[in-house]
């Protein structure tokens, strides 16, 4: 963005400013505003702006005359930070529709691509606004140029829960792209009880097959306008599920018959459970080890119910192949390890019992046969006599 700045000495530096034009000259920062003067940090619960202060002073203003979206609220005013070099004016406001210093929230939808190609409605929320100078000059004319700093953060609302990297877009007047992501607020945990209070501690030899595993995907330090909605969760033998055997626990409009969905899309945590299983591919190993992956949507509270309807979610077969994650850096859920030897032991015990029962039956049958032969011999002798 181009700034039309007049080369004149500032005339209305406010009394509250701790920074003067002479201060800026002494550090070599007395200059016109430039595009990279603003830095935008797209946080998980707030947006932070840092605008270089000396160009503001050079143009004839100070931090008290830089206003966010025409809001005079003191909480939306900037504060001068001279502890850094060069000095900056800092703004910070929450990601909240009801109080974000006049920021504009715009949610857009598009068909999913790449890792989310199985979903027909992927949302992104864009939060934007302007920091403008307020000219206190009275009269018909002014000699002060107007300053405008635009900020914009784009947050995707769909995440693969085991990834720390996601392609996102954001922009600001500074021309420096800034990633905005809520992925750091999301966490997947395993529990051993239906109250989701006791973390699942994996024994060295694994858990027994059919043991209930309780899974919670939870958002922490996330703005309250979004809930957590699980779109798809599956298990794979590899932590990075590329070309790996996998099993869908549930997909849009399809749930495995043994998976229980306990809570989804109604709060900032989603919960489900399933009985521990093993992969046939690992049948010759003493334990079966696999990992969970969940594709998670952050939906606005008022719209979550709509996303839970099948007509808004692309139908998918329970046997469809997963997308290619080879280019993604992942951290996975803890290993889920199931016992193989415990089941084999039970099988051996069952076989031993069966053999013992068969032996007893043969013995009884032999005894009956001997008795029958004895009776037959007695009758035969009587007939002869």
Q: Are 192 and 265 in contact (CB under 8 A)?
A: no
HEC-encoded secondary structure of 66-131: EEECCCCCHHHCCEEECCCCCCEEEEEEECCCCCCCCCEEEEEEECCCHHHCCCCCEEEEEEEEEE
Which range has highest mean pLDDT (2-6, 124-128, 211-215, 289-293)? 211-215
Pairing mode, strands 171-172 and 336-339? unpaired
pLDDT band at 50 (very low <50, low <70, confident <90, very high): very high
Mean of pLDDT values over 37-64: 91
pLDDT at 80: 95
Per-residue pLDDT, 66: 92
What pLDDT does 331 receive? Answer: 32
Q: Please give the pLDDT value at position 257.
A: 86
Average confidence (pLDDT) over 32-46 = 89
For residues 233 and 250, what is the distance between their CA atoms, to the nearest angstrom? 6
Could you say which DSSP state residue 14 is in? -
Q: Say how many C-beta atoms besides its own lie within 10 A of residue 127's C-beta.
A: 21
Q: How far apart are CA 231 and CA 312, in angstroms?
A: 11
In Å, what is the CA distance from 247 to each residue of 153, 221, 257, 354?
36, 31, 13, 34
Residues whose CB falls within 8 Å of the CB of residue 82, separated by 6 or more in sequence, listed in order: 18, 19, 53
Nearest-angstrom CA–CA distance, 213 and 56: 58
What is the arithmetic mean of pLDDT over 217-221? 86
Name all domains of the chain by residue range, CATH numbers in brackets. 21-159+166-181 (2.60.40.3210), 185-339 (2.60.40.4100)
For the chain, give the mean pLDDT. Answer: 74
Read off the pLDDT of each residue in 259-280 and give the average, rounded to a whole number: 91
Confidence of residue 375 (pLDDT cuts 50, 70, 90): low
Q: 369: number of CA atoms within 13 Å, CB side?
A: 6
pLDDT, one tens digit per residue, over 321-367 is: 444 433 332 334 667 787 764 434 443 334 444 444 445 555 556 56
Residues 6+ apart with CB under 8 A from 97: 105, 225
Q: What integer is the mean pLDDT of 17-46?
A: 89
The structure tokens listed for 55 are 């160009």
pLDDT score at 143 = 75
Q: What percent of the chain has pLDDT over 70?
A: 68
pTM of the model: 0.62
The Cα–Cα gap between 288 and 237 comes to 9
Q: With contact defined as beta carbons under 8 Å apart, do 82 and 18 qualify?
A: yes
Whose structure tokens read 């019992």? 353
CA distance 39 to 283: 55
pLDDT digits (tens, 9 = 90+) for 155-190: 888 777 653 222 222 222 222 334 577 777 788 889
Helices (H), the chain: 21-26, 53-59, 304-307, 341-384
């Amino acid at each position: 963005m181009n700034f039309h700045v007049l080369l004149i000495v500032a005339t209305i530096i406010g009394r509250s400013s701790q920074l003067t034009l002479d201060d800026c000259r002494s550090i070599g920062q007395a200059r016109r505003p430039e595009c990279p003067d603003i830095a935008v940090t797209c946080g998980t619960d707030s947006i932070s702006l840092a605008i270089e202060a000396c160009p503001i002073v050079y143009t004839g203003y100070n931090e008290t005359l830089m206003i966010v979206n025409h809001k005079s609220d003191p909480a939306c005013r900037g504060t001068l930070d001279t502890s850094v070099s060069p000095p900056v004016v800092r703004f910070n406001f929450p990601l909240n529709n009801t109080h974000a210093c006049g920021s504009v929230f715009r949610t857009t939808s598009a068909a999913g691509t790449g890792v989310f190609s199985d979903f027909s409605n992927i949302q992104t929320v864009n939060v934007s606004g302007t920091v403008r100078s307020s000219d206190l000059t009275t009269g018909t004319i002014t000699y002060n140029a107007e300053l405008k700093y635009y900020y914009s953060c784009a947050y995707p609302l769909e995440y693969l829960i085991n990834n720390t990297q996601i392609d996102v877009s954001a922009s600001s007047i500074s021309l420096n792209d800034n990633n905005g992501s809520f992925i750091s607020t999301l966490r997947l945990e395993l529990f051993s009880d239906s109250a989701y209070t006791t973390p699942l501690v994996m024994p060295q030899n694994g858990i027994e097959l059919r043991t209930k595993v309780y899974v919670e995907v939870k958002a922490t330090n996330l703005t309250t306008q979004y809930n957590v909605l699980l779109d798809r969760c599956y298990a794979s033998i590899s932590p990075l599920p590329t070309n790996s055997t996998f099993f869908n626990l549930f997909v849009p409009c399809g749930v495995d018959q043994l998976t229980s969905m306990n809570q989804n899309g109604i709060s900032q945590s989603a919960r489900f459970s399933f009985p521990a299983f093993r992969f046939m591919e690992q049948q010759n190993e003493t334990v079966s080890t696999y990992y969970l992956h969940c594709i998670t949507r952050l939906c606005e509270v008022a719209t979550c119910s709509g996303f839970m309807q099948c007509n808004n979610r692309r139908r998918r077969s329970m046997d469809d192949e997963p997308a290619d994650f080879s280019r993604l850096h992942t951290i996975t859920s803890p290993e889920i390890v199931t016992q193989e030897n415990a089941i084999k032991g039970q099988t051996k015990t069952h076989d031993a019992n069966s053999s013992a029962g068969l032996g007893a039956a043969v013995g009884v049958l032999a005894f009956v046969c001997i008795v029958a032969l004895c009776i037959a011999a007695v009758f035969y002798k009587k007939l002869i006599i």
